[in-house]
């Protein structure tokens, strides 16, 4: 049995930027263990699998270690594959996911994802978080799915060298460190050793909390963002009530085929 595989760079204008994701179109669901094995073998921060439905697609995301509830860059990647490799003519895609219905639409040379905004709450763990991040000075500490660490120096984010073992002991899915940007509205880096991803170059789902935070702080609804350390990607975000539109480009990199044994139980 062969499964098509597309590897693309999300939130990138050309290859070797942004965040790489694998995308595997399926006709029907395979066993969950096999999906996880494929994601582990791909060894990218996310592998997206989707199956057609009557109203659109059922979409799932796997890191090398676990299935996750929401992933922005792999959603962008899956939509790009459906539009550009599979020839979908619709202007808007409907994805059924563990986080509910997600919409992705064409927006010029970008794709726009419509995600629910996340609410941040204060977190009283300044000492533990600062230690895990190398003893940095924290301006504000918040949490939703991820711990959000606000610092007052964008250059500090560039030099971060977190202790991954300490990060694993903190609550939440991952930890994102953010600051006001210079040539963008804000910058960030995201670390998720608990889900098998030490650093994710561009984490679309993290911007469902970052964009509302910076929109309120900067007094603007349309924002530009850059995420990453050695490898970076760019996003544009629009906050509309309890929704966040996250936009980006996708650069194709690799088309291939996965060869599997003929015997494969359905999930």
Pairing of strands 47-52, 19-25: parallel
Q: Which of 17, 27, 41, 46 is catalytic?
A: 46
> Residue 190 pairs with which residues in a beta bridge?
176, 200
Q: Is 27 a catalytic residue?
A: no
SS3 content of the chain, % helix, strand, coil (to 5): 20, 40, 35
Residue with tokens 């799915």: 145
Nearest to 208 by CA among 8, 91, 70: 70
Tell me the Cα Rg of the chain: 18
SS3 track for 164-233:
HHHHHCCCCCCEEEEEECCCCCEEEEEEEHHHCEEEECCCHHHHHHHHHHHHHHHCCCEEEEEEECCCEE
Catalytic residues: 46
């Amino acid at each position: 049995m062969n499964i098509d595989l597309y590897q693309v760079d999300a939130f990138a204008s050309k290859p070797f930027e942004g965040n790489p994701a694998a995308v595997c179109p399926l006709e029907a669901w395979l066993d969950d263990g096999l999906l996880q094995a494929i994601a582990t073998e791909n060894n990218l921060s996310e592998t997206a699998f989707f199956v057609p439905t009557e109203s659109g697609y059922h979409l799932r995301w796997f890191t090398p270690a676990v299935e996750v509830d929401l992933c922005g860059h792999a959603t962008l990647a899956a939509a790009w594959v459906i539009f550009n490799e599979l020839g979908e003519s619709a202007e808007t895609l409907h994805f059924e996911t563990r986080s509910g219905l997600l919409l992705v639409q064409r927006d010029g040379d970008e794709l726009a994802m419509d995600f629910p905004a996340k609410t941040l709450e204060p977190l009283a763990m300044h000492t533990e978080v600062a230690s895990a991040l190398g003893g940095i000075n924290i301006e504000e500490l918040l949490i939703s799915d991820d711990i959000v660490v606000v610092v007052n120096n964008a250059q500090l984010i560039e030099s971060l060298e977190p202790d991954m073992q300490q990060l694993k002991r903190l609550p939440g899915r991952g930890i994102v460190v953010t600051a006001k940007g210079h040539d963008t509205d804000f910058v960030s880096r995201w670390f998720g050793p608990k889900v098998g991803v030490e650093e994710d170059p561009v984490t679309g789902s993290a911007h469902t909390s970052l964009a509302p935070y910076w929109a309120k702080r900067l007094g603007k609804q349309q924002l530009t963002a850059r995420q990453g350390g050695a490898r970076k990607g760019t996003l544009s975000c629009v906050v509309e009530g309890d929704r966040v539109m996250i936009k980006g480009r996708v650069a194709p990199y690799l088309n291939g085929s996965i060869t599997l044994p003929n015997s494969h139980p359905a999930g």
